[in-house]
Amino acid sequence: MIELPRWLDAVDRELVINIRALAITLLLLFASASAAHAGEVQTIAHPSVNVKQLTKLELRRIFSRKQTLWENGLPIVVYVLPSKDKLHQRFSKEVLRIFPYQLDRIWNKLTYSGIGTAPVIVNSYQAMHDAISTTPGAIGYSENMEKGGNIHVINIKE
């Protein structure tokens, strides 16, 4: 603990201690509020994707564009948010277990070498939902997605 100067009288010392306690409390409240605000990252897909569950390894293959077709032969259309987006960063790190810059490198290599294509980048959560709901074979991610409608949630297993 930090020693307070001796010249502070008892009232000033108590005030400094109370201010420090308040600052720490506010910091902890802010940290817990921002953690509570962040919902569960979910993988979502068009109903034509007849897959109920994928492993993290399978998802990494899909999002790194190593797998480009679903089992039924339908092309996989991958939608992502911009690399700077917080949800994209969480999805990359928590679900795919790869840093966003590593995904960017993979996509750039595919694109510039001509051997593949990068995912489609959408600029908002709503654009992601709209694109996936209207594109057969589409896959992407969301936060706290309700089941139903023209998008379904794919369960992720280790």
Rounded CA-CA distance 74/14 in Å is 69
pLDDT tens for 16-39 read: 677 787 777 767 666 544 443 457
Count the helix, strand and coil residues of the chain and give each as a percent rounded to the nearest 5. Answer: 45, 20, 35
In terms of phi and psi (left: phi > 0; alpha: psi -120 to 50; beta: otherwise), the region of 137 is left
Phi and psi torsions of 62, nearest 5°: -70, -50
Q: What is the pTM of this model?
A: 0.74
Please determine, for residue 137, whether its predicted confidence score (pLDDT) is greater than 50: yes
Question: Do the Cβ atoms of 125 and 88 come closer than 8 Å?
Answer: no
Tokens of residue 38, six digits: 């962040």
Q: pLDDT band at residue 41, thresholds of 50, 70 and 90?
A: very high
Higher-confidence residue of 27 and 68: namely 68
